[in-house]
Each structure stands twice: as C-alpha cells, then as structure tokens.
Chain A
Amino acid sequence: MNGIRVKTIVRRHAYVLWRSPNRWFDIAFWPLMDVLLWGSLGTYIARSNGTSQAGATYLLAGIVMFHILFQTQIALNTGFMEETWSRNLLNMMVTPVTETEYVTGVGVFGLLKLVLALITLSITAMVFFGFNLSSEGWGLLPIALILLVSGWAIAFVVIGLMLRFGQSAEILAWGINFVVMAVSGVFNPIDAIPGVLQPLARLLPTTHAFIALRQLLDGGGVPWDQIVLGIIGSIVGLALSIAYVVHMLHVFRRRGFVTRFS
C-alpha cells in the first residue's frame, strides 16, 4: 500500500466535493431534512398519544445512526461513479494505483464526509429537538462500527453490479439503503414489519445494530448479544461483498467492459 497514492485519491475527491454544491446535499441538506422530518413526526406522535418522548428519541436516534450506514455507502459509491461520470476510469486503471489503494482513499474520504454529516445531524437534533445521542455513551461505538462495515459491504456489492451491468446499476447506489432501512427496523422493532420479511431482517447485521440501539436507549445497558451478532454478520457480509466485487472486476477485465466507460 502506497501512502502517497492513497492521499492523492483523497485529494482528488476533495477537489470534486469542493467544486460540486450538489454533493454538499449529502452531508448538509439531507441530514438536516431527515432530522426535521423524523424528529417532527416523533414529537407529533408523542403529543397525540400523550406518551413520553421515547418515540421521538427512537426516530431521531434511528435516523442519526442510519446516516452512518448511508454516508459510508454513498461516499464509496459516488467516489467510483465520479470516475465513470467524468470518463476517468480508464485513466485511473492505467496508473500504478491498486484497487486496494483506490478503495482505501475513497473510504478515508467517505469517513471525512461522515464526520461532517454527523456534525450536521447532531447540531440539528440538539437545536430543534434537544436531542443528544452522545449522551448514550461508548455503547454507541460498536453499533456505529457495525453500520460502518455494513455500509462498505453494501457499497462493494453496488460497485460490483456497476462493473457488471454498467451505469444502469447506478440507481441502486441511491436506493438500496432505503430497502435496508425498511427491512432492518431502523425506527421500529422488527416484529412490526411484515412477517414474510422478518427472517430476512434477522439475517442482516444492520437489524441487530438497531435492536441494540433501542435497547441502549431504553437504559438496558450495552446489549452485547446483539452487538456480537451484528459484528459477525457485518464482517461476513464485508468478506462476501469483497469476494463479489473482486470477481466482478475479473469479469469486467475479461469481457472488456472498460469500453463502456471510455
């Protein structure tokens, strides 16, 4: 792994972010809108039912933590898509940069974007709803880790599909996490989702991350059983997704799909 090349990839994407106001939507506008939407909904439900603010807390905590998954995935996917949009993929492929260095660079840049998005989410939730997720303490860290690793795994699958099917697979980059959102019970226990989907939900590491989050919010301490399931699931998912994208890269080179992007 060459540090100069990894740093260069980070710099390349920083230039693009700086010059692309639309990219700031991911880290400033959508987090703000999400907090407003889900925080307002939670507050309304709590007032209508005369219950406590627990509902609003679930919704706000869910959307903040969901953004870890979303931002991680979208940063890696838009990093790759940027090379295809600007017809730069072939330019990149004929430099000494390795696939590992490229993904590391885009991943590091994604973490920087994630930090910016979390700042937006935290400030908005605090200012509008007096909600401070960090008060839940260190127990949030393993949950965040599961979501981070799961975000990378989803991104690799989407990149694999784009390598195989071209730009028509780009739609997944924007939509796939909303499938995960619905099936993983980001805001609600999974017994509230249709029964036919519940076995699938239990297989997803993200489901265990959000179950752990709600148990933590309920004051039940760090739910290690759920966290261990989530960590194992996310690592298995990451390994499978890397194997998939490596295979698709092999197919991409064997079938000459680079000409689609140049």
Chain B
Amino acid sequence: MGYVLEARALRKRFGTVQAVDGVDVLVGAGERVSLLGPNGAGKTTTLLMLLGAITPDEGTIEIAGHRLPKSRSKAMGHVGFAAGYLPLPDRLRVREALGVFAGLYGLADHEAAVAAGLERFKVGHLAERMCNELSSGQRTLVGIVKAVLHKPALLVLDEPTASLDPDVAQRVRAGLLDVCSDGTALLLTSHDMREVEQLTERVVFLAGGKVVANASPAEIAADYGHDDLEGVFLHLAGVAIHPEDEL
C-alpha cells in the first residue's frame, strides 16, 4: 500500500514525561484514520510531530515521500491542517486570510481557489467578514476551507467539531466526506466517538504514549467486547488512567 503519511517509531520525552513512546502512524492514500486517546495520551504531541512543529527524539516521518525535517516545505505542500482551537489571523477579512494561505501554498489563482473553497462548505457569505468576528462554528468551517484550498493529499484535523452545534458539526462532517471523496486522506483526532465511526475507517488508539489498538472501529469494538467505540474509549482510557484497576 502506498502511504501518504508514514511515521515510524516516534518517541518524544519532555523532561521526565515520556509523551510518545514508539508510535507508528501510517495513513494510506485516500484512507481515513482517526487518532484517539484520553487527555495526555500523546495525541497532540504526535500530531505536532507529524506536522513538523515538534522534532521527535527518535523515529522517522515521511509525507508524500518527503522526509521531515529535511524536506519540510515540500511535505507541507501536501498537507492541510485545521484545529478547532486555531483561528485565522485577526485584522484580515476571511477572503484575504484565505488568499494569504492560498499564496503560501503557491496557488497562482488564489481568488478562484478561495471562492471555490467557501462555496464547497456553503460559507461564501462570510468572505467579507473579519476573521475575529466569526462565531466558533464559522471559524471552524473557514479553518477547514483553509486546510483544503490546495487539495492536499493529507488532511489533518485536530478536534474539528469541538464546541460546535450538532447541525454545524454535521455540516462539517458532510463537507469532510465530500473532500475525502476526491482521494484526500484524513487523519483526525476527536473526542466524539460517533463522529469517529462516521468519518474514519481505521482507528489508532493511544494510551500512555503508546499505540494500544489499531484497527477498524467495528473490529476494535468487537475485540474489546463492546457495542461501540465509546465503550472501548472508556475502557481503554480508564485502563490508561488507572492501570491497577484492570482485572
């Protein structure tokens, strides 16, 4: 299988804390994968390493055949990233901010790319709004538009629907499935297990900085004897937090 993201044996320690301990994350072209785990499991550190923002102590990362950190610029040309906590820059209109990112991705006709992106998520009416005046739902939608402007091979989303109303969250999920139908691979973190089941085909579950499960949501649920992923999450998260409680 050709991997768009191939990260192997990642390790990261902060002081006395081993945040990530030998994690592999492999995402095939067009595959939809979620990275799950309780708070402190090492998800964010892993994501930031995959994005080149944190240097791993050990391990290798390749995106679309480009090795980090040496070919970071080329690798990032194939990645789109958005997070619920990450706003677009203040003092810019939505159209301008998206135009800036289109330029950074090297798109020659950034106005057309911005218009198409806004239209895809049905937020064209926000084009002239100031970024700092958007609601959290609007900010999330515009952030995802930013992440897919350049039709990336890999879309990385960190809790994209956190704090969104159910209807807006559903719109985001529909938009993401539409984006992925073009062959874009997805790597997602979320605390919404139904969202994970709806959006992704495979789950990489982290606990204590290690991969403790790596299979489809249904397979993981069956392996752990639960009806759905939520039960597995509670089970694995509970084990991770209180390992002595596991019988």
Within 63-111 of B, Cβ neighbours of A (below 8 Å) are at: 69, 72-74, 76-77, 79, 81, 83, 85-92, 96, 99-101, 103-106, 108
Tally of chain B residues near chain A (CB < 8 A): 37
Q: Which of B44, B55, B83, B146 has most chain A Cβ within 10 Å?
A: B55
List A contacts of B52 (CB < 8 A).
93-94, 253
If A12-B89, A85-B90, A262-B85 touch, whether A96 touches B74 (CB-CB below 8 Å) is yes
If A86-B90, A87-B87, A96-B73 touch, whether A258 touches B48 (CB-CB below 8 Å) is yes
Contact, CB under 8 Å: A93 / B103: no
Q: Which of A4, A93, A96, A250 has most chain B Cβ within 10 Å?
A: A96
**Which B residue's beta carbon lies closest to that of A23?**
B91
Within the complex, which residue of B53, B81, B86, B91 is in contact with A20, where a contact is CB–CB below 8 Å? Answer: B91
Q: In this assembly, does A169 line the interface, its C-beta being within 8 Å of a C-beta of chain B?
A: no
If A20-B91, A87-B87 touch, whether A253 touches B106 (CB-CB below 8 Å) is no
List B contacts of A87 (CB < 8 A).
86-87
If A2-B106, A4-B106 touch, whether A95 touches B101 (CB-CB below 8 Å) is yes
Instruction: Tell me, in angstroms, the Cα distance from A211 to B51 when the chains sit together.
Output: 49
Q: In this assembly, does B200 line the interface, its C-beta being within 8 Å of a C-beta of chain A?
A: no
Q: In this assembly, does A135 line the interface, its C-beta being within 8 Å of a C-beta of chain B?
A: no
List A contacts of B55 (CB < 8 A).
250, 253-254
Q: In this assembly, does A91 line the interface, its C-beta being within 8 Å of a C-beta of chain B?
A: yes
Instruction: Tell me, in angstroms, the Cα distance from A193 to B69 when the chains sit together.
Output: 48
List A contacts of B54 (CB < 8 A).
253-254, 256, 258
Q: In this assembly, does B45 line the interface, its C-beta being within 8 Å of a C-beta of chain A?
A: yes
If A12-B100, A254-B55 touch, whether A94 touches B91 (CB-CB below 8 Å) is no
Within the complex, which residue of A83, A86, A262 is in contact with B91, where a contact is CB–CB below 8 Å? Answer: A86
List A contacts of B87 (CB < 8 A).
86-88
Instruction: Tell me, in angstroms, the Cα distance from A246 to B89 when the chains sit together.
Output: 25
Interface string of A1-41 (1 = CB under 8 A from B): 01011011101100110011000000000000000000000
**Which A residue's beta carbon lies closest to that of B14?**
A256
List A contacts of B48 (CB < 8 A).
256, 258-259
Distance of A178 from chain B, by nearest CB (Å): 28
Instruction: Tell me, in angstroms, the Cα distance from A100 to B54 when the chains sit together.
Output: 19
**Which A residue's beta carbon lies closest to that of B106?**
A4
Contact, CB under 8 Å: B91 / A8: no
List B contacts of A86 (CB < 8 A).
87, 89-91
If A8-B100, A86-B87, A96-B106 touch, whether A15 touches B77 (CB-CB below 8 Å) is no
Instruction: Tell me, in angstroms, the Cα distance from A7 to B90 when the chains sit together.
Output: 19
Interface string of A58-74 (1 = CB under 8 A from B): 00000000000000000
Within the complex, which residue of B14, B83, B105 is in contact with A255, where a contact is CB–CB below 8 Å? Answer: B14
CB-defined A-B contacts under 8 Å, sample of 21: A8-B103, A8-B104, A9-B104, A15-B92, A15-B96, A83-B89, A86-B89, A87-B87, A90-B83, A91-B89, A95-B76, A95-B101, A95-B105, A96-B105, A97-B73, A98-B73, A253-B54, A253-B55, A254-B54, A256-B14, A258-B54
The 9 A-B residue pairs whose C-beta atoms are closest, nearest first, are A8-B103, A95-B104, A86-B89, A96-B77, A86-B90, A19-B91, A88-B89, A253-B55, A94-B81
